[in-house]
Amino acid sequence: FELSKLEMDANTCAKLIIYTEKELSSYGMHITKSLRKKFNRKAKIARSIRIKADEAKSVFIHKLESKKEELDEIKEKLDEKTEIINRIRTIKTLSSLALVFALHQFKPTPSNVMDEIDAALDFCNVSIVANIIKE
C-alpha cells in the first residue's frame, strides 16, 4: 500500500512539475508579448520624435543659410563703406600732414598749436597712410 501511495505521490509531483512548467512558460510568453508591445510602442514614438527632430533641423539649417546669404550681402556693403571711410580718413590725414609740412616750410617753429587736426593724425589714420605708402 505504501509503495503505491509513494508512486502516486511521485506521479502527482511529476504532473505538478509539468503543469508548473507549462504555466511558467505561458506566463513567460505573456510577459514577452506584453514587453514586445510596450517596446514597439516606445520605438514608434522614438521614430516619430526622430523624424520631427530631423524636420526641425532641416528647417533651421535652411533658415540659417538664408540668413547667412543676407549677412554676406550686408558684409559686402559694409566692406565697401569701410573702404570709402578709409579713403576719406587717408585724404584727411594727408591734408593734415601737408598742412603741417607747409606751415613748417613757410615759417619753421619748434611747436604749433592746432585744433581739430589731432584726430586726422591719430595712430589708426597714420597707419593707413603708412600701409598705402608701403604698397
Percentage with pLDDT > 70 across the chain:
87
For 114: left if phi > 0, alpha if psi spans -120 to 50, otherwise beta; the answer is beta
Q: Give CA torsion, residues 73, 74, 79, 81, to 10 deg.
A: 120
pLDDT for res 86: 80
Take residue 109 and report the three cell numbers written for it: 617753429
DSSP 119: T
Instruction: Cell 514577452: give the residue.
Output: 32
Amino acid at the residue 30: H
Task: Count other C-beta atoms under 10 Å from residue 87's C-beta.
Answer: 12
* Domains of the chain, residue spans: 2-134
| Better pLDDT: 113 or 127 | 127
- Residues 6+ positions from 97 with CB-CB distance below 8 Å: 121, 129
d(CA 115, CA 56): 60
Q: Which residues contact 129 (CB under 8 A, 6 or more apart)?
A: 90, 93, 94, 97
Most confident of 66-70, 103-107, 128-132: 66-70
- Top pLDDT among 133 and 46 is at 46
Give the pLDDT band of residue 4 (cuts 50, 70, 90). low
